[in-house]
């Protein structure tokens, strides 16, 4: 899903939901050529690099290491391996900390609510079947 939606969102909005909460947008390093936004191909290649290097192919030990390393790179060099590779720039907007924290909390509550609704939707038909048998 990430490989499909992230490049499209980066092309249209120059950000994703999580990046927007943190005030981050991803721009092309040659802004005059493409209007500042990355192409879908650039976004796809960047997302693939993030999955490989940043998330360590979602293997827990490698994910932790990749996230720590990318944090260090952003802090020290203000760029990451995949941004250098794909000629993209990670731009951080002015920080409005209370608003960003509020947005993060709302997004977290929304995700929990969706998971609860999905769980209830899966369990309810089975429970209704048992009620019908008893009646």
Report residue 115's pLDDT band, with 50, 70 and 90 as the boundaries.
very high
Task: Give the tens place of pLDDT for each residue, 46-95.
Answer: 889 888 888 888 888 888 888 778 777 766 666 777 787 777 777 777 66
Report if pTM > 0.85.
no
Q: What is the DSSP letter of 93?
A: P
- Of 17-21, 97-101, 105-109, which has the strongest mean pLDDT? 105-109
10 vs 4: CA distance, rounded Å: 11
According to DSSP, residue 29 is labeled S
Q: Could you state, in order of their start, the residue ranges of all structural domains in the chain?
A: 2-95, 96-135
For the cut 80, the answer to whether the pLDDT of residue 135 exceeds it is no
pLDDT at 17 over 60: yes
Phi then psi dihedrals of residue 87, to 5 deg: 55, 50
DSSP symbol at 94: P
Look at residue 34 in the predicted model and tell me its pLDDT.
54
């Amino acid at each position: 899903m990430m490989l499909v939606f992230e490049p499209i969102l980066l092309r249209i909005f120059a950000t994703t939901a999580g990046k927007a909460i943190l005030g981050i947008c991803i721009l092309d390093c040659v802004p005059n050529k493409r209007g500042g936004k990355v192409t879908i191909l650039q976004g796809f290649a960047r997302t693939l690099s993030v999955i490989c290097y940043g998330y360590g192919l979602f293997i827990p030990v490698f994910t932790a290491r990749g996230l720590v390393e990318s944090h260090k790179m952003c802090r020290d060099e203000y760029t990451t391996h995949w941004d250098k590779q794909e000629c993209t720039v990670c731009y951080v907007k002015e920080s409005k900390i209370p608003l960003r924290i509020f947005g993060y909390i709302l997004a977290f509550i929304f995700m929990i609510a969706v998971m609860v609704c999905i769980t209830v939707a899966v369990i309810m038909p089975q429970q209704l079947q048992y009620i019908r048998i008893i009646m």
